[in-house]
A and B are shown apart, each in its own frame.
Chain A
Amino acid sequence: MKKQLSMALVAATLASAPLSASAAERVKFDFWYGLTGALGEVIANQCKLFNESQDRYEAVCTGQGGYDKAEQNTIAAYRAKQQPALVQLYDAGTVNFMLSGAVYPANKFAKDFNISIDWSDYIPAISNFFGTSKGELWSLPYNNSTALMYYNKDALAKIGKSEPPATLEELTDDLKAMKAAGYDCGFGINFDPWVSLEQFSYIHGVPLATKNNGYDGLDAELVYNKTKLVDFIKLERSWVDNGYAKIMTQQTGKSIVESFADGTCQFIYTSVGDHSTITQTHKDSVHWGDAFLPVFAGTKRLNSAIGGASVWIMAGKSHETYEAVAAFVKYITDSETGVNYIAHNTGYIPVTKSAFKILSDQGFYKDPKYAGREVAFASLTASEVTPLSRGVRLGNYTAIRSAFQSEFQSILNGQKDVQAGLDDAVKAGNEILRRYEQTFKGKELP
């Protein structure tokens, strides 16, 4: 009886062997990503396309349910020596990974595995943002965006204008006129620091922190409570107080993007990444466009900086695995299968100059579905990248953002004075920075 059973098993194994042979020979590796929903599916599909494009390697791609979860899970996995080979990591996690000693720097990886990547082809605003102090890229720019102002064309027409405002003074006048014209929500606002704190500071060329926003050392200190930002937050507060702007968050029932797409709010600031969402979900009656974020009159506009994620290669894998990873890296950095794929299927911008040129030549930006996204490219390249419009590199930046966010909530809700709120946010942020500096005592930012 037992013998028969084992014979049957052997037979079954033999029968199935030819089927599974090709799958078994494939070298597998893990890629963890943070994007969720429709964007997450785009990533999953890219993996599928990669797996179908060749038969030697297999990317096992797993969504982690959010950018912050992707970082948390990778850290936990690394500590258990189960880390994925690749991980998509958001901007705020960059410092942790640079100092971790747990990564295989992308520039070194490309050299070791003979991948030709033209590093100078990346849009400077991107390569500077993710780069080390020496200008080397340790991770691969993947899905990146910048902030734009979205406006409702009909609402503008109603107050007798055809062009979106270019300055904040003009925007304030428009909001006033819209209120007079009976619009309940001229400007949909939320508490997102990326737009109200960071992008404002970049395009106005004012510092968020000393040491060139932290790029030059872990001993940087926040200073945004002493810059033009204070005026801007005061302005935003006055919009809310005067009824020009309305707070739109998930907790109030609708996000800013939803409230713009259904015509409730006439202006919002948000990522170009939301361009595709608005294209797909806006009401037919809503005619809209996008433009640069307005600046204070008399300001020399600098480039806006990016948000989004890059792909990191983790240390501690076998040479065989890394060869498979190398094939995948080639695939996702290729203009056609990588950069253009992301740009076509999401609202993110093409991360290289050549891919942008290919897309423009193909008439991509003339297509009504995508028209308006070129504004993001123009915003990122509005000036040479300066030390203050490069981005931000501060330890534990997620916590610094949330310290700002809770004070910003109190400010917009009228519970706290603007200056007092920003002072408290900076004070809390600086304590976070000092702890971080102490935790990494003796280490230097690469």
Chain B
Amino acid sequence: MEKRVTFSNYWLAGLFIAPQLFLVFTFFYWPTGQALYWSLTLEPPFGGGNQFVGLQNFMAVFGDAHYWDSVIRSLVFALGTTAISVGFATVLALFADRGLFGHSIFKFAYFLPYAVPAAAVGLAFRFTFTPDAGIFGAVNHIIPGLWDPSRNGGQALFMIMLGQAWKMAGYNFVFLLAGLQSVPRSMIEAAAMDGAGVFRRMRDMQMPMITPTFFFLFVINITDSFVDSFGMIDVMTRGGPSRATELMVYKIYLDGFEAKDYSLAAAQSMLLMLLIMVMTIFQFRYVERRVHYN
């Protein structure tokens, strides 16, 4: 017989979890329920007189070629940003972990970007990447017209990806460094004594040892890239040029708040939520199998 610690006083137990339940209900279930209702009706901007229209809003979304473009763009954005950001943070963490000269300063400095609000990052990057005057515009002095995110959609998307990756790199860095520091020193030292060089140790020992951290960061980064790109886009490109940076979240904003078509925006929010859920389940079911926690 398994022995369990149970609460015999359900009322007291209920009281303890009530505040949490209240928060979850107020800030998640209630708004989500409201959005679900809107997505099945046509909601006039000032409210009142919703008509039930079934799945019409979803049909409108599915029938819109711009929507599918935004889905693909969001996927590219999420995967690309995650790869750049985690990759970059891994290099930083591996070297910060080696305890080289000044590593404690770097540890602090690398985390700072995460504390900067997205809008501020966007503003800074906008100036950095301006084709005429920005630092990055210097490439145009060598090859004129090469860099112009105001006209070239691919470059604009890349610019946003860099911004988001830069911002998340600090966060990833902290987790990776913590992961690396939990790898037993004795193992690394033993490998060193056996003649494994620095890169060999990083590739074959340290990185495999922190796969759980990588997995965690992939899930967080991908989710974050889907839902948290708004500030950056709004400041840097406003979805342009020619919708090239109109990601799912930004399209929801445009349809909901600029165009005041709340129902269309609600339907897209539902779909975005569904997509993120599916992706997270996928990651836990199929990717996590390859992660060893010990």
Contacts and interface: CB of A to CB of B under 8 A. Distances in A.
Interface of A: 68, 71-72, 75, 78-79, 96, 99-102, 247, 249, 251-254, 396, 398-399, 402, 406-407, 409-410, 413, 415, 428, 431-432, 435-436, 438-441
Contacts of A251: 126, 130, 149-150, 236-237, 240-241
Residue from A100, A252, A431 having most chain B Cβ neighbours under 10 A: A252
Contacts of A71: 260
A435 B260 contact: no
Contacts of B134: 253
Contacts of B237: 251
Contacts of A406: 239-240, 242-243
A35 to B, nearest CB: 18
B14 interface: no
A372 to B, nearest CB: 29
B242 A410 contact: yes
Contact of B242 (A75, A415, A436, A438): A415
Contact of B240 (A100, A409, A431, A432): A409
B46 A79 contact: yes
Interface string B61-105: 000101000000000000000000000000000000000000000
Contacts of B241: 251, 409-410, 413
A96 B132 contact: no
A100 B258 contact: no
Closest 8 A/B residue pairs (Cβ):
A399-B259, A251-B150, A253-B132, A100-B46, A410-B242, A252-B150, A409-B242, A439-B42
Given A253-B134, A406-B242, 15 more contacts: A75-B46, A79-B46, A100-B44, A100-B46, A101-B46, A252-B148, A396-B259, A398-B260, A399-B261, A406-B243, A410-B241, A428-B66, A431-B60, A438-B51, A441-B51
Given A399-B255, A438-B42, A75 B149 contact: no
A409 B242 CA distance: 6
Contacts, number: 94
Interface residues of B, number: 38
Given A72-B257, A247-B150, A253-B132, A101 B240 contact: no
A413 B242 contact: yes
Interface of B: 42-48, 51, 53, 60, 64, 66, 126, 130-134, 148-151, 236-237, 239-243, 254-255, 257-261, 263-264
A410 B45 CA distance: 30
A251 B152 CA distance: 11
A232 to B, nearest CB: 20
A399 B258 contact: yes
Contacts of B64: 431
B132 to A, nearest CB: 4
Contacts of B264: 435
B42 A413 contact: no
Nearest to B137: A253
Contact of A440 (B44, B148, B257): B44
Contacts of B148: 252
A409 B151 CA distance: 8
B-side interface mostly: loop
A402 B239 CA distance: 11
A50 B221 CA distance: 52
Nearest to A415: B242
A398 B258 contact: yes
Nearest to B259: A399
27 contacts: A68-B257, A72-B257, A72-B260, A75-B260, A96-B45, A96-B46, A100-B44, A251-B149, A251-B150, A251-B236, A251-B241, A252-B132, A253-B131, A396-B261, A398-B258, A399-B254, A402-B258, A406-B240, A410-B241, A410-B242, A428-B66, A432-B261, A435-B264, A438-B53, A439-B44, A439-B51, A439-B263
B64 to A, nearest CB: 8
Nearest to A409: B242
A199 to B, nearest CB: 22
A413 B151 contact: yes
Given A75-B46, A253-B130, A253-B131, A68 B151 contact: no
B38 to A, nearest CB: 12
A361 B239 CA distance: 48
A253 B260 CA distance: 30
Contacts of A96: 45-46, 260
A402 B253 CA distance: 13
Contacts of A402: 254, 258-259
A99 B48 CA distance: 12
Given A247-B150, A251-B149, A439-B44, A396 B240 contact: no
Most central of B45, B53, B237 by chain A CB within 10 Å:
B45
A99 B44 CA distance: 9
Contacts of B47: 78-79
Contacts of B132: 252-254
Nearest to A428: B66
Contacts of B243: 406
B163 to A, nearest CB: 14
Contacts of A99: 44
A351 B31 CA distance: 44
B261 A249 contact: no
